[in-house]
Amino acid sequence: MIAVLKHNATNEQIENLTAWLEGRGLKVHISRGDLYTILGLIGDTSQIDTELLEGLEMVDSVKRVSEPFKSANRKFHPADSVIEIPLPDSKGVLKIGGDENFQMIAGPCSVESPEQILSIAESVSASGATILRGGAFKPRTSPYDFQGLRADGIELLLEAKKRTGMPIVTEIMNANHLDLFDEVDIIQVGARNMQNFELLKELGKRQKPILLKRGLANTLQELLMSAEYIMAGGNHNIILCERGIRTFETYTRNTLDLSAIPMLRELTHLPVVIDPSHACGVARLVQPMAMAAAAAGAHGLIIEVHNDPVNALCDGAQSLTPEQFAKVAEKVQKIREVVTQA
Ligand code: PEP
Ligand code: MN
């Protein structure tokens, strides 16, 4: 980190600031120029509040030269992380991450009934999905909308897992519900909870894989800092998910940031999954975006599928029918063949 001081900074101010920074465990390299004095801060600067520093009277500007995320940083872990998801009945593991391990996650926005989840699970499994998604606790904008089947929804997902052999992913909204997630294979942290730091800390205490979705208005660095919260607690099993960010565009529900894939792959070793369903909000856009994401190097896709989208209790407009999903899976498979040969 570099702090450029104002040209009128006095020696006393520089000495006081240096002592303050050294008190925080940093080495301070002072470089005095004709106009400006520059302090080079060496050591773990992740503890330093750059805005606080920049706000000091004698400081002109502050620039980070190293990222504040350490555990998630590819610089300190050059190889791709491969997250292992246990298959039911001790049938080994599914891997996600690295160039070879791509997974298709599919299922309804919300678990609605035994018939619905079982029929969707069976059809997406038959067309190549490897992990079943389904919301039990739903973060709805309106309190009057369907809130999910909650604990009963998780029970139904576990039943579908038993029948199909697919691991399951479902969203947690409250750390108090963690006991209900014992047999859930991947815990989703939704976009709205990406910065629920107390929840992230609790998830850091377990070794369960976490699907961490990017918030509606969060930068990639903020996403990585949220991953860092979980990793700081000891849980390194994190899958990042880009699900569209809010922009001025209104034809789509959100704007899919496809450049997040190569950028995150540069910045971090953690796998990156794309959710084209929430990104677009329009079912017919899911196929082209899914193909583009696979082409850009995503490690997986999470896609909403419903047996009766028109009557879905949540997110019907963006949900594919099982037949449409089968086509998308086939196209994505073809793109993957090209990507892995390239
Ligand atoms: C979901 O996956 O159903 C969901 C609510 O996702 P997001 O948090 O990305 O909106
Ligand atoms: Mn949804």
pLDDT tens digits, one per residue of 160-206: 999 999 999 999 999 999 999 999 999 999 999 999 999 999 999 99
Cβ-proximal residues to 3 (8 Å cutoff; 6+ apart), any chain: 17, 38, 39, 41, 53, 59, 61, 62
Q: Mean of the pLDDT values across residues 280-308?
A: 98
Angle of helix 322-341 relative to helix 286-295, nearest 10 degrees, comes to 20
278: Cβ below 6 Å to ligand 1? yes
* Nearest CA owner, ligand 1 atom 9: 191
pLDDT grade, residue 265 (50/70/90)?
Answer: very high
Helix, strand or coil for residue 74?
helix
CB 302 within 8 A of CB 262: no
Cα 67 to averaged position of ligand 1 atoms, centre (Å) = 28
> Residue 67: what pLDDT?
86
Instruction: Report the half-sphere exposure of 206 (CA within 13 A, side-chain side).
Output: 17
Q: Which atom of ligand 1 is nearest to the CA of 302?
A: 2
> Residue 43: what pLDDT?
84
Token pair of 161, please? 């897992």
* Strand 59-63 relative to strand 2-5, pairing: antiparallel
With 90 as the cut, is the pLDDT of residue 76 above it? no
Q: Please tell me the distance from the alpha carbon of residue 84 to that of residue 94, in angstroms, as a whole number.
A: 6
Which residues neighbour ligand 2 (ion) by CB within 5 Å?
A: 109, 315
Q: Mean of the pLDDT values across residues 52-60?
A: 94
Widest Cα–Cα separation across the chain: 76
8-12, 93-97, 117-121, 216-220: range with lowest mean pLDDT: 8-12
> Residue 217: what pLDDT?
98
Q: Mean of the pLDDT values across residues 1-7?
A: 92
214: Cβ below 6 Å to ligand 1? no
Enter the pTM of the model.
0.89
pLDDT grade, residue 151 (50/70/90)?
Answer: very high
pLDDT grade, residue 33 (50/70/90)?
Answer: confident
Helix, strand or coil for residue 37?
strand
pLDDT grade, residue 90 (50/70/90)?
Answer: confident
Q: Please tell me the distance from the alpha carbon of residue 340 to that of residue 342, in angstroms, as a whole number.
A: 6
CB 224 within 8 A of CB 256: no
Please name the residue that has the structure tokens 């678990």.
111
Token pair of 93, please? 């593991």
Cα 190 to averaged position of ligand 1 atoms, centre (Å) = 5
Burial of 199 by CB count in 10 Å (0-12 exposed, 13-18 middle, 19+ buried)? buried
CB 156 within 8 A of CB 335: no
